[in-house]
Structure 1
Amino acid sequence: MALHKDLPPLLALRAFEAVARHLSFIKAASELSVTQSALSHQVQKLEQHLGKALFIRRTRAIDLTADGQQYYDTIRPALDAIATATRAQRVAPHTTVLRIGLLASFATLWLAPRLAGFLNRYPLIQVELLPAIQLANVAAAEVDLAIRYGKGDWADVQASRLMTEVISPVCSPAFKASQVPNGPLLMATSHRPFEWTDWSAHYHVDLEPHPRVLLHDYNIVVEAAVAGQGIAMGRHRLIERRLQDGSLVPAFDWPPYHSDIGYWLIAPQGGISPAAESFVAWLKNACTDA
């Protein structure tokens, strides 16, 4: 015998089950995200299909009729079985891992405080940040994307500028007040110290009398400068909070230098995955708003 001849309208059945379980049209409507009027209409449609009342409607409460209780007790296990079978067959959402190579300083001081915006929008994309001083090999798929600081002249990759940086030497207020002559320059390990080279060439400053202190990462450079250990080249996009709270101040009287140094998105020469495309679009918007 064909089932469709005896099956009631399934929306009406779902409405009945919720109302019978809660014994409340208000709670059932809230659970199903429908209006009470729409819910009542579905229950009435089921009663018409069966040719009998299923609820006793009172002014402030409702109860199941004897037939309604018997019907509920009969269909509830069947609905539970359908729900269990559906859960067993449903394909679980697939999480995609997106690996991003970048400098630890950019991850800590700029990206991490903003990353929740991306994760909330794309909950099925798991972002794995892989900090490293060396440029990660996107061509060999060590990472899916990379973010680098420099001038964009890396070989065998696609480099697109995300945003430029404003730089100026900074130090702690105490270090500046001490008037240490030829104070040490705090530098992050780099094969090309272009920040100091470009800044000194722009303002015609001789840096030879200043000793150099090489530190592993720019995060360490910033903390050393805050602690009064010397003069750091301030990357304003990364040290904005330090400048605002006064823990870092301009070391010299020259204005900030708007350089052509900046942050770049590094992608392989071929195409990128949909997850990577989503991250790129979000990152570009975030850089525009920064």
Structure 2
Amino acid sequence: MRSTRSLPALVSLRAFEAAARRLSFSLAAQELFVTQSAVSHHIQRLESELGVALFERRTRAVALTPAGQAYFEHVHAAFELLRQGTDKLRAPAAARVTLKVGLLASFATRWLAPRLPAFAAAHPDIELQLLPDIGLADVAGGDVDVAIRYGRGSWPGVASRLLMTEQLSVVGAPERIAGRKRPRTPEDLLRHPLLTSHAKQPFEWDAWARRFGMDLGRAQTVRLHDYNIVVEAALAGQGLAMGRHRLIAPHLASGALVQALPGAMLEDPRIGWWFVAPRGALQPAAAALRDWLADAAQTDEPTFPATH
């Protein structure tokens, strides 16, 4: 049996999980009812104990390192298990319904996770089991009860409802597109590596290029595993990414990412995040999640700060 003595202190892990989920030491401090310096101290202690940097400190923001992102996925999953176990203990088992939700890891960590406490408070009788995957979860086949998918809708064999549209623009770290390196035209973007994530039906760069007249035939494309890694690579200055503003809003607000071509925003009324369910009448728990997501999306309209 492995000894728990090899594990870091729970208080340090809790500070890391909150800061990584919020991408902010100050917001983590507010959530945990401690000072920002206390959060910073716990994370420094954790980094020292693990022997690896978990965060990249910037002037106006923090970002997870690749090691930090990988560790966060495990730590966050562990805390979710603790929360779910606690909720089961507090509520009669028969009164709770488990809902399996398929979704992209990037949507789960960057949009949904910070809002889960609000859903739990509004629906204590529903336990969400999040099943992140870069592939399309089989809703019709019963692998999951419902799914949140990104794309244009019209998937066969299921019922889809648009929750919120997505706005797309090319973004990068300020230092990559500063001064003489700043793109002036869409063709100028081809001087930079274009970052993209794995997808069964990739469409973002193609749709943007058609809209703004860019020939992707000469593009240097870097294909990464998922969109979380695309964002981290863009933050590290490794190339330009197609920014999904719903997911990268904190980075745009902080200036950690900026638009490479101000005003070159692709807004397609069918590109966005969709609630996908089996055809027919929804079970009450699924309908409750759908309606809650739709309400949350309406109060979360993205803003577009000026490019630095």
Shorter-chain TM-score above 0.5: yes
The superposition leaves residues 130-171 of structure 1 with CA deviations (integer Å, 9 ceiling, x where unpaired) of 001111111121111100000002100001111111100000
1:255 aligns with 2:264: yes
1:162 aligns with 2:172: no
| Equivalent position to 1:216, from 212, 225, 248 | 225
- The TM-score with structure 1 as length reference comes to 0.66
| Corresponding residue for residue 269 of structure 1 | 279
Contact persistence 2:135–2:200 (CA under 8 A): no
Residues 1-290 of structure 1 mapped to structure 2, 5 A cutoff: 93-177=94-178, 179=181, 182-259=191-268, 260-290=270-300
Q: 2 CA distance for matches of 1:92 and 1:110? A: 28
For structure 2, list consecutive stretches of 5 or more residues without a partner in the other structure: 1-91, 183-189, 301-308
| Corresponding residue for residue 83 of structure 2 | none
Q: 2 CA distance for matches of 1:253 and 1:210? A: 20
Which amino acid in the other structure matches residue 163 of structure 1? M
Q: Tell me how far 1:93 sits from its aligned partner.
A: 5.0
Contact persistence 1:138–1:146 (CA under 8 A): yes
Contact persistence 2:168–2:267 (CA under 8 A): yes
The superposition leaves residues 208-263 of structure 1 with CA deviations (integer Å, 9 ceiling, x where unpaired) of 22211111110110010000000000001110000000010112244322123111
Q: Which has the larger radius of gyration?
A: 1
- The TM-score with structure 2 as length reference comes to 0.62
Identity %: 48
Which amino acid in the other structure matches residue 181 of structure 2? Q
Q: 1 CA distance for matches of 2:97 and 2:277? A: 18
| Secondary structure class of the residue paired with 1:237 | helix
| Secondary structure class of the residue paired with 1:272 | coil
| Secondary structure class of the residue paired with 2:161 | strand
Which amino acid in the other structure matches residue 268 of structure 1? P
The runs of 4+ residues in structure 1 deviating greater than 3 Å are: none
How has the CA–CA distance of structure 1 residues 207 and 118 changed in structure 2, closer, same or farther, with 3 Å as cutoff? same
The aligned length equals 200
Which amino acid in the other structure matches residue 125 of structure 2? L
Q: Tell me how far 1:191 sits from its aligned partner.
A: 2.7
| Secondary structure class of the residue paired with 1:238 | helix
Contact persistence 2:159–2:279 (CA under 8 A): yes
For structure 1, list consecutive stretches of 5 or more residues without a partner in the other structure: 1-90
Which amino acid in the other structure matches residue 196 of structure 1? W
Q: 2 CA distance for matches of 1:235 and 1:187? A: 12
Q: 2 CA distance for matches of 1:203 and 1:92? A: 54
In angstroms, what is the RMSD of aligned CA positions?
Answer: 1.6
Q: 2 CA distance for matches of 1:234 and 1:142? A: 30
Q: 1 CA distance for matches of 2:119 and 2:214? A: 42
Q: 1 CA distance for matches of 2:214 and 2:262? A: 12
